[in-house]
Amino acid sequence: MSKKMSLCVFSAYVMVCFFSFSPPVLAVDIFKVSNYAKGKQIWFEAEAFDERSPNENYKLGEKEKAVKPEKDAFGDIVTNTGGKGWLLYKFDISRAGGKAGEWRFIGRVVNPKNHSDWLWVLGDDGPKIPDKEPAFVRPDHIIFEENIPPPFTWKKTGDFGKDGGTVNKLKKGENTMMIWTRQSSINVQYDVFCWSSDLEYQPTDDDYKKAKEKTMAVEPVAKLTTAWSTIKASLN
């Protein structure tokens, strides 16, 4: 075997090991995008969280038998079964054609007893993901401080009709958001979340249904196939 061939075979072996054992990149893997009104939007369902607190106080309504979702839910829902904790989501606004700047967080929720939570955004609220609850301030971080009886409602205000913590500065590309418990309970149901670069945009169910579905870009197997093709080409 030639020296060139040996080097290429070794390179292929290294890449196989890398793609086989590298931990998967966490991010919302199924989402929707749109360009309604004067901005861009990225949508993802609440149950598509990347991580949650170890105590798992936030649970899926149907799949984990926490509570029966309201009949007009899009798929499953997330509720708080008791205690304090958090949910973490990663999302890439570039997949919606979005740019860095101010975006509004909007939720399709049921919250009949006004049990609110906190919203924390990486970059805007701190340089690294916190390992304990940050020092939240009302109104800067509060979300869903609203009375929202069934059916599900798209709520873009965070504090009794005011912005609260809904408007945040997002970074170019991938962003990370966390929902931390303030008051949420089994009465709260989170269904779908939306970020919009048009701060005045008001979502509708039809908007969500018509938004374009996307998935995470390239899977490791696809990357490996591309890499191996490159190596084979170099042998010719």
Residue with tokens 């670069």, as numbered in its chain: 197
pLDDT of residue 25: 42
Contact between 42 and 195 under an 8 Å Cβ cutoff? The reply is: yes
Here the contacts of 8-13 (C-beta below 8 Å, separation 24 or greater) are: 8/231, 8/234, 8/235, 11/231, 12/227, 12/228, 12/231
Report the relative pairing of strands 58-60 and 148-155 from DSSP bridges. Answer: unpaired
Range of lowest pLDDT (106-120, 170-184, 216-230): 216-230
**What is the band of 112 on the pLDDT scale with cuts at 50, 70, 90?**
very high
Reported as a single tens digit per residue, the pLDDT across 3-56 is 544 444 444 444 434 434 444 444 578 999 999 999 999 999 999 999 999 999
pLDDT of residue 2: 54
| Top-confidence residue, 224 or 171 | 171
- Exposed (0-12), middle (13-18) or buried (19+): which is 182, by Cβ within 10 Å? buried
Contact between 37 and 201 under an 8 Å Cβ cutoff? The reply is: yes
pLDDT of residue 27: 57
How far is the CA of 5 from the CAs of 15, 102, 173, 224, 232, in angstroms? 16, 52, 39, 18, 10
Q: For the whole model, what pTM was predicted?
A: 0.82
Q: At 130, give phi and psi (nearest 5°).
A: -75, 145
Peptide bond into 139 cis (omega under 30): yes
